[in-house]
C-alpha cells in the first residue's frame, strides 16, 4: 500500500507541475469567470449559468483526463523511466495502481478548484449554495476516474496516439449507447440489429449514468439509489479495467 501511495504522490507532484495542466486549469477557471459576465449579458437566468458552467467543468476535466490518462503511464514505460522504479522492491501492479490514483488525485484537485469557482459564480449570480451542483461535479469526477482507468488500460498495449483515439471513441460511445438502445426500441428495430445495439450497450461503459447536470441545473434532487448505483457501477468498471490493465502490464516485456 505504501508503494502505491508513493507512486500516487509522485504522479500528482509531477503532473501539477506540467504546464499543460496549469494552462488547462487556468482556461477552466477563466471560462467559469466569464460566466459571471455572460449571466448579465446573455444567459440572464441562473439555470443557464449553471448549465454552461457545469458543462465547462466537464469539458476541461475530460480534456485533462484524456491528456493525462493517455500520456502519463505510457510515457513512463516508453521512456523507460520505469526501469528505475520496477528494479526496486515494488510490483508492476503497485506501480500501475499508484499511477491511476495519482492521476485521479490530479483530476480531483482540478475538480475542487473548478467547483470552488463554480460555487462562487452561482452564489454571485444569486443562487446561494448549490449542493446539487457539487454532486454533479462529484459524478463527473467518477466518470473521469473511469475514463482514466480506460485510458491506462489502453496505454498498456498501444501507443499514446492510439490510446487517444480509442479513449475518445469510448468517450463518445459511452455517451450514446443508452440513447441508441432507447432509439432502437422507439424505431422498432428488432432481430440481429437490436442484439448488436444491446451488445454495444453492455460492452461499453454507460457514461450517461454520471450525467446529472440537468438535475443540478433545475435544482431537482437526485434519488440516492441512482447515486449509489452510479458509484457502484463506476467502481466495478474501474476495478475490471485495472485488473485487465495489470494482467497485460505483468506480461509486457519492457
DSSP state letter for 219: T
Torsion angle, alpha carbons of 190, 192, 193, 198, to 10 = 90
Q: How far is the CB of 13 from other proteins (least distance, A)?
A: 8
Does residue 177 contact residue 204 with C-beta atoms inside 8 Å?
yes
Residue number with CB closer to other proteins (63 or 90): 90
Q: How far is the CB of 86 from other proteins (least distance, A)?
A: 6
Q: How far is the CB of 214 from other proteins (least distance, A)?
A: 40
Residue number with CB closer to other proteins (90 or 244): 90
Residue number with CB closer to other proteins (24 or 115): 24
Q: How far is the CB of 84 from other proteins (least distance, A)?
A: 6
Residue number with CB closer to other proteins (36 or 105): 105
How many other C-beta atoms lie within 10 A of the C-beta of residue 21? 18
- Site for other proteins, rule CB under 8 A: 2-3, 6, 10, 13-14, 17-18, 79-81, 83-90, 253-254
Does residue 189 contact residue 221 with C-beta atoms inside 8 Å?
no
Residue number with CB closer to other proteins (88 or 186): 88
Does residue 115 contact residue 137 with C-beta atoms inside 8 Å?
yes
Q: What angle do CA 64, 210, 187 make, to 5 degrees?
A: 115
Q: How far is the CB of 91 from other proteins (least distance, A)?
A: 8
CA distance 46 to 38: 11
How many helices (H) and strands (E) the chain has is answered by: 10, 0
Residue number with CB closer to other proteins (78 or 208): 78
Neighbouring residues of 242: CB distance < 8 A, sequence distance ≥ 6: 96, 97, 100, 149, 152, 153
Nearest Cα residue to 169 out of 207, 224, 219, 211: 207
Residue number with CB closer to other proteins (18 or 208): 18
Q: How far is the CB of 87 from other proteins (least distance, A)?
A: 4
Q: How far is the CB of 2 from other proteins (least distance, A)?
A: 7
Please report the sign of the dihedral spanned by the C-alpha atoms of residue 12, residue 18, residue 21, residue 26. Answer: positive
Amino acid at each position: 500500500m505504501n508503494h502505491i501511495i508513493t507512486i500516487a504522490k509522485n504522479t500528482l507532484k509531477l503532473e501539477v507541475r506540467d504546464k499543460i495542466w496549469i494552462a488547462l486549469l487556468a482556461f477552466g477557471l477563466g471560462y467559469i469567470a466569464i460566466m459571471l459576465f455572460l449571466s448579465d449579458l446573455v444567459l440572464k437566468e441562473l439555470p443557464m449559468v449553471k448549465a454552461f458552467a457545469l458543462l465547462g467543468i466537464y469539458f476541461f476535466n475530460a480534456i485533462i483526463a484524456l491528456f493525462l490518462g493517455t500520456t502519463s503511464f505510457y510515457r513512463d514505460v516508453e521512456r523507460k523511466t520505469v526501469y528505475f522504479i520496477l528494479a526496486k522492491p515494488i510490483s508492476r501492479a503497485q506501480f500501475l495502481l499508484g499511477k491511476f490514483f495519482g492521476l485521479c488525485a490530479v483530476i480531483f484537485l482540478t475538480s475542487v478548484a473548478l467547483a470552488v469557482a463554480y460555487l462562487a459564480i452561482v452564489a454571485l449570480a444569486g443562487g446561494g449554495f448549490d449542493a446539487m451542483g457539487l454532486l454533479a461535479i462529484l459524478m463527473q469526477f467518477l466518470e473521469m476516474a473511469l475514463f482514466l482507468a480506460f485510458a491506462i488500460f489502453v496505454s498498456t498495449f498501444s501507443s499514446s496516439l492510439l490510446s487517444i483515439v480509442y479513449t475518445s471513441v469510448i468517450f463518445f460511445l459511452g455517451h450514446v449507447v443508452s440513447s441508441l438502445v432507447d432509439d432502437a426500441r422507439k424505431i422498432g428495430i428488432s432481430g440481429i440489429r437490436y442484439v448488436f445495439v444491446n451488445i454495444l450497450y453492455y460492452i461499453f461503459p454507460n457514461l450517461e449514468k454520471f450525467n446529472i447536470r440537468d438535475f443540478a441545473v433545475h435544482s431537482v434532487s437526485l434519488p440516492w439509489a441512482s447515486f449509489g448505483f452510479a458509484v457502484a457501477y463506476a467502481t466495478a468498471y474501474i476495478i475490471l479495467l485495472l485488473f485487465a490493465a495489470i494482467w497485460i502490464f505483468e506480461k509486457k516485456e519492457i
